[in-house]
Structure 1
Amino acid sequence: MLFDMDGTLVETEELWGEALGELAGQLGGVLSEGARSRTVGTSMQVAMEILYADLGTTRTEQQHADDARWVEDRTAALMSSRGVPWRPGARELLTAVRDAGIATALVTTTARRIAAIVLDRFADELGEPPFDVTVCGDEVPARKPDPAPYRQAMAALGVDPGSSLVVEDSVVGVTAGLAAGVVVLGVPSLQSLDRRPGLVLRDSLVGLTVTDLVDLLAGGGAVELPA
């Protein structure tokens, strides 16, 4: 199983949004709700471009890099000070998957140095690292919505798309999973998701069992999960 991180397993999207909003204020503007929504799940480069367009401002290449680094650092500080809460049902599902002996990967657009904060929390709370493989945004040739991150994770796990399942919350993440040829379980967080072939939508991970996921995969995504 291949899991996204921010907004899927942990409640960190709000922290990224807060950091982006603070940067917008430093640049003399206010980040609109629509622009913030479009940044969900994207790379920092794309998020910065959305923010600049929303504010009607331009920045040099160096300023762009400095702004992205500032947002990452600010988000890391917020994670450290406020904690990293689980999304509803995420801890229970991840634990059940691990107990069943299913190979797992974390596939996130977040850079390794920031993702490490969350991974350390996972290991502390679960008693061991919960993933066999972790693929971060600064370790891939292209980021979501490109399928490269999921393909890299499957190659590292030694699995193929037909035996894999992606769990995502964002449009770019769902797009990446489907483009990699994998059935996707979409659990929206801050972004709505439209139905697509191969995508199964659910409001929450609460109550999901390993049997549910096996049935979903066997049905190629053409099944209805229990509410």
Structure 2
Amino acid sequence: MSPIGTATAPGPGDLRAVLFDMDGTLVETEQYWGEAMFELAAALGGRMSPGARAATVGSSMRRSMAILHADLGVVRTEEQLLADARWVEERTAQLMAGGISWCPGARELLTEVRAAGLRAAVVTTTPRRVAEFVLATIRADLGGDPFDVTVCGDEVPARKPDPAPYRRAMAALDVGPGECVVIEDSQSGIAAGLAAGAAVLGVPNVQDVAPAARLTLRKSLVDVDVPVLAGLLAPVGADRPE
């Protein structure tokens, strides 16, 4: 598997890697997860509230199912919770098979990141078997694999907002937190990137995200380029992109 782009050797302190969340950050797939959960809620005899749906963005399937069940006021056994999670994953994969589109600006940014010789990773809470639907589409569209590393939710000891997924990706890329920018759309993902020690670019869509140190918020990835990302590594107190 050969990533597209050419490798270079940046100087000390330079941006060396960009770590991307997947759903809702690179590709417009969050609506599929939401549609599957709304369908499950209907099958359980209720209707999931918009607030509960927003709270599930970026969460593990276990936590998402707990939020959904609490929202509906239903009690499910552990076995039933796991079955519900599996159903949502399978239904989401079916919906993804119908077509996946890029988030605004994401394709252009990913292409530029690789052309600049930076390393790239996907770090997602989505399990590998579902994530591969998206990754295969990205590879086909770009004519190669743009990622040096992919970390999925079922491959780490703890999921976002724990920093473990991002720390694993950094170790696999052989880069330090100060050489990375994490790009995320959810509160849990942003918290994970910050806890891992990286600067974070947040592009929230469904959720509201609170300001934080080392976090820069944008409405989308449109007009975000490598110099913008490199600027996020500026020392605290220095001028940073808005």
- The alignment's TM-score, normalised by the length of structure 2, stands at 0.91
1:129-148 map, 5 Å: 129-148=145-164
What does the per-residue CA deviation read over 1:113-138, in whole Å, with 9 as the maximum and x for residues that have no partner?
00000000011000001100000000
1:145-184 map, 5 Å: 145-184=161-200
What does the per-residue CA deviation read over 1:111-170, in whole Å, with 9 as the maximum and x for residues that have no partner?
000000000001100000110000000000000000000000000000000111100000
User: SS at the partner of 1:217?
Assistant: coil
CA distance in structure 1 between the partners assigned to 2:235 and 2:101 by the alignment: 32
User: SS at the partner of 1:134?
Assistant: strand
CA distance in structure 1 between the partners assigned to 2:222 and 2:94 by the alignment: 29
Match for 1:49: what amino acid?
Answer: A
Q: Relative to structure 1, is the Cα distance of residues 144 and 221 closer, same or farther in structure 2, using a 3 angstrom cutoff?
A: farther
Which structure has greater helix proportion?
A: 1
Deviation, structure 1 residue 223: 4.2
The answer to whether residue 28 in structure 2 is matched with residue 32 in structure 1 is: no
Q: Relative to structure 1, is the Cα distance of residues 223 and 16 closer, same or farther in structure 2, using a 3 angstrom cutoff?
A: farther
Q: Which segments of 5 or more consecutive residues in structure 2 lack a partner in the other structure?
A: 1-17
Q: Relative to structure 1, is the Cα distance of residues 67 and 221 closer, same or farther in structure 2, using a 3 angstrom cutoff?
A: farther
Q: Relative to structure 1, is the Cα distance of residues 164 and 3 closer, same or farther in structure 2, using a 3 angstrom cutoff?
A: same
CA distance in structure 1 between the partners assigned to 2:27 and 2:227 by the alignment: 23
Deviation, structure 1 residue 63: 0.8
What does the per-residue CA deviation read over 1:161-212, in whole Å, with 9 as the maximum and x for residues that have no partner?
0111100000000000001111000011111111100100011100111111
Identity of aligned residues (%): 62
- The alignment's TM-score, normalised by the length of structure 1, stands at 0.97
The answer to whether residue 123 in structure 2 is matched with residue 110 in structure 1 is: no
State the 4+ residue runs in structure 1 displaced beyond 6 angstroms: none
Match of 1:217 in 2: 233
Aligned length: 225
> Which of residues 91, 114, 139 is equivalent to 1:74?
91
